[in-house]
Structure 1
Amino acid sequence: MKITGYQTYIVPPRWGFIKITTDVGIDGWGEPCLEGRTHTVHACVDELMEYLVGKDPRDIELHWNYMHRSSFYRGGPIMMSALAGIDQALWDIKGKALDAPVYQLLGGKCRDKIQTYSWIGGDRPDDVVRMAQERKALGFNAVKMNGTEELNFIDEFSKVDALLDRVQSVRDAMGKDFGIGVDFHGRVHKAMAKVLMKELEPMHLMFVEEPVLAEHFESIHEIAKYGAIPIATGERMYSRWEFKTLLERGGVDIIQPDVCHCGGITELKKIASMAEAYDVALAPHCPLGPIALASSVHVDTTCQNAIIQEQSIGIHYNKGSDVLDYITNKEVFAFDQGYCHNIEGPGLGINIDEAFMQSQHELAKTQAKWRNPYWTNEDGSFAEW
């Protein structure tokens, strides 16, 4: 079997896809994207595919090493996101060739289903009680919400009070066993993170996510002392070597690598195994499309330390088109009481609606490119989004 070609797609709301073709008629799909920089990622895909066309797609470990290590400058969000999408497509091809789901090729299952959570509240959290109740009615028993809007190095305590009121209102409405994750989104600096951890402790959160930016992870151990709340982070880390440093420093309880940014299924599985050795749980980051979600679920199925899976069906970013719109077998993501069952079809087990994909690719050419919002503090300085 040889790779004969590929096609990339950029589509709404902010996603990128790749279809890799072979000489035996088996195609594989992946999701090489980086929110706000997917066009740049696809330029890197073109460079990596120069090596891959003509190769046997089944030698995934060999190809991963060549694509990663053959560059003198390695890693980072652009290259690892390009590599991630290609890697997903190679696993999809191999699973289809062997008529087996990808999780079987990764060692087989250690569970029958994985718990999922749903987003509420938007970028500027609002109306969170109603949305949490709606998610519970759909069968979810856990949600995640952004904690704050802009927050300066030292900021007004009215913003702290607003966060506490929002979280407490969800806790009061949903009960003590309903899972609540609060995402600081890297918007919070160390001094305010200490305050928020202490004040949020009585609310019995499922986790606090990204209490500080990845470049300040040396402070996580210090921040953890201020509240007995599990700390989750890792969506802006791109390889096992970065996670190695995080795990060695301690303080983190849940890692959240993104299968579309950390080098794909191959690397996500290795990162998860590293975390298990440190008694750290896995909850893959996934605010993206159906290939990303399927890839994450296949890894979850094989990892003892996987505890919950993010999914973005109905998230506030998905205006005009959503996760399920891009696949024809939507039943694979028919969550049962908040759980996603193992995906049993060959390869990634999802069937891409190619006609819809092409139509959305053409539509994206006429729309403005998705970009992160630009936020500003009260004094006019840059604020983290």
Structure 2
Amino acid sequence: MSKVTRLRTIRIAERPNLIWVEIETDEGLTGLGESFRGAQAVEAVLHEQVAPWLIGKDSRRIEQVSRQLMTPYLGFHSASAEVRAASAVDIALWDLAGQRHGIPVHEAMGGAVRTEVRAYNTCAGYAYNTSGGRRATSGQEEAAGPYDDQVAFMKDAGKLAESLLSEGYTAMKIWPLDIYAEASGGHLITLEDLKAGIEPFRKIRRAVGDGIEVMAELHSIWSSHAAIRICRALEDVGVFWAEDPIAKMDDARALADLRRQTRTPICGSETLGGAVPFRDLLAADALDMVMIDLAWCGGLTEGRKIAALAEVYAKPLAPHDCTGPVTLMAGLHLALHAPTAIFQEVVRATLATWYRDLVTDLPVLRNGMVQAPTAPGLGTKLQEAVRSRPDAVIRESAAP
């Protein structure tokens, strides 16, 4: 029957936002899932709400489980703790499905439409997003290593672009405007600050011309007026997209109004959970590109539905990763499977360092392209050493 017998959560103090879920079945298989942010809240949902219902259920009925977990009494249609918990479980169930049949997840979902997908490097540092909110830098900090790309883009974005091109990357994402939001709470950006925030993009163009695509991350911290001013300024530097330009990315009317007032393509949003907000944004003609985070939107099952919406609206898709290695692997499988996927986000700083300490396998990049995994399931597992760490918190729910 492939019955669920145990649900285990693992988190570590060093990466307090991350939580992993392992689901065991009576076949002797273990599926791996992951979510990010508010790990303790997600852990509580998993053991107090999800596990009592899930244990004993048939792990093959992924759609049934998704439907149950994605329609809680509260917390749906957002990246709530309930939806983050559902996302982790769903990813683990797809991992089980691939393992059960000896095929990669992208094949289990119906097959890949491509054997590789283009990577773009999010120019974060080694500890970015680790414990609290996103960390903005002024460029005056000392780099923690050769891939401390967030410090690098504030210091010399042109040199950073040259470094990325030398490693085969042909696209990059930066957020030099973030530091100017705090003064007004994101409601105003002065002309002086706007020009300073646009300068890193100009440095990239001066250094490498049109040889690299550049995305502008706006991190949902601006009001409509400021976002419009920023997006208009970005038109002159030819950014590939402006991501999450306004504070509430489920505000279809405000986002559509912004999109009408700029030629800069609008991308959104990793912050949304469930297919309905994406349906509303696409119906309002508010997006040019669709971005999803599988650890926040409902996992691969809901992610595939959002990808289908992107396809019927003829919009490109780009799975998000600036969080954890299991989400990255899941996003890659969807990017290989979804017809309109054009990118998989990666962070070279984490790929080169602490992601390797957590999981057995990571995506393979070749000439700026992420290669299709060939191992069954997601193609990765937690390193055994993670469980024996002194800062590990492990909790289990099992059948009586």
- TM-score (norm: length of structure 1): 0.87
Structure 1 pair 101/215, CA: closer, same or farther in 2 (3 Å)? closer
Q: Work out which of the residue numbers 154, 158, 176 in structure 2 matches 1:126.
A: 154
Shift of 1:19: 1.0
Does residue 81 of the first structure (1) align with residue 110 of the second (2)? no
- Residue 364 of structure 1: CA displacement? 5.7
Match of 1:323 in 2: 355
1:7/1:321 CA distance change after superposition, 3 Å: farther
* One-letter code aligned to 2:268: T
8 Å Cα contact 1:288/1:312 also seen in 2: no
Aligned twin of 2:108: 105
What amino acid is the match of 2:361?
N
Instruction: Choose the corresponding residue for 2:35, options 21, 32, 35.
Output: 32
Post-superposition shift, 1:321? 5.9
- AA paired with 2:123? I
Task: Please give the alpha-carbon distance, in whole angstroms, between the structure 1 residues aligned to 2:68 and 2:226.
Answer: 43
204-213 vs 117-126, which moves further: 117-126
Partner of 2:196 in structure 1?
162
8 Å CA contact retained: 2:275, 2:305: yes
| Contact 1:121-1:131 at 8 Å conserved across structures | no
8 Å contact kept, 1:32–1:83: no
Residue 237 of structure 2 is matched in structure 1 by 203
SS of corresponding position for 1:346: coil
After TM superposition, give the deviation of residue 221 of structure 1 in Å.
2.0
Counting matched residue pairs gives 355
Query: Any conservation in 1 of the 2:250–2:277 contact (CA below 8 Å)?
Result: no
Cα distance between partner residues in 2 of 1:226 and 1:176: 25
Which runs of no fewer than 5 residues in structure 2 stay unpaired? 126-135, 138-152, 394-400
The more displaced of 263-272 and 275-284 is 275-284
Listed as ranges, the matches of 1:357-372 within 5 Å are: 357-360=386-389, 362-363=390-391
- Contact 2:115–2:372 (CA<8 Å) still a contact in 1? yes
Alpha-carbon spacing, 1:227–1:147, altered in 2? closer, same or farther (3 Å): farther
User: What is the rounded CA distance, in whole Å, between the counterparts of 1:263 and 1:229 in structure 2?
Assistant: 29
In structure 1, runs of 5+ residues without a counterpart are: 366-385
CA distance in 2 between counterparts of 1:251 and 1:32 reads 27
1:275 aligned residue (310, 316, 320): 310
Following TM superposition, by how much is the alpha carbon of 1:363 offset from its aligned partner in structure 2, in angstroms? 2.4
What is the distance in 1 between the residues matched to 2:379 and 2:223?
41
Which stretch has the larger CA shift, 131-140 or 141-150?
A: 131-140
Task: Specify the SS of the correspondent of 2:360.
Answer: coil
**C-alpha contact 1:312 1:323 (8 A) present in aligned 2:** no
1:138 Cα offset (Å)? 2.0
Shift of 1:215: 4.7
Aligned Cα root-mean-square deviation (Å): 1.9
Q: How is 1:89-100 mapped onto 2 (pairs within 5 angstroms)?
A: 89-100=92-103
> Distance in 1 between the 2:204 and 2:25 partners?
50
Q: Map 1:1-385 to 2 at 5 A.
A: 1-11=2-12, 12-13=14-15, 14-33=17-36, 35=37, 37-46=38-47, 47-69=49-71, 71-75=72-76, 76=78, 77-120=80-123, 123-124=136-137, 126-127=154-155, 128-148=157-177, 149-151=179-181, 152=184, 153-213=187-247, 214-314=249-349, 322-330=354-362, 333-355=363-385, 357-360=386-389, 362-363=390-391
Deviation of residue 112 (structure 1)?
Answer: 1.0
- Per-residue CA deviations over 1:301-355 (Å, capped at 9, x if unaligned) read 111110111123415xx9x96222222234xx22111111111110111132122
* C-alpha displacement of 1:121: 5.9
C-alpha distance after superposition, 1:225-245 (max 9, x if no partner): 333221101111101011111
Looking at structure 2, the residues matched to 274 and 346 of structure 1 have their Cα atoms a distance apart, in angstroms, of 27
For 1:17 and 1:203, locate their aligned partners in 2 and report how far apart those are by CA, in whole Å: 40
SS of residue in 1 equivalent to 2:45 = helix
The aligned amino acid for 1:328 is T
SS at match of 2:154: coil
Contact 1:288–1:311 (CA<8 Å) still a contact in 2? no
- Given that 1:150 and 1:187 are in contact with CA atoms closer than 8 Å, whether structure 2 keeps it comes out as no
Render the CA deviation track for 1:142-165: whole Å, top value 9, x for unaligned: 110113114231232211011111
Q: Is the 8 A contact 1:120 1:144 kept in 2?
A: yes
Structure 2 letter corresponding to 1:7: R
Matched residue, 1:377: none
Q: Runs in 1 of length 4+ with deviation above 3 angstroms?
A: none
- Provide the C-alpha distance between the structure 2 equivalents of 1:121 and 1:65, rounded to a whole number of angstroms: 35
| Distance in 1 of aligned mates of 2:113 and 2:217 | 28
Q: Which amino acid aligns with 1:195?
A: R
- The 1-side partners of 2:22 and 2:118 are apart by 29
What's the % identity of the aligned pairs?
25
Q: State how far apart, in whole Å, the 2-side matches of 1:364 and 1:230 are.
A: 42
The amino acid of 1:344's aligned partner reads: T
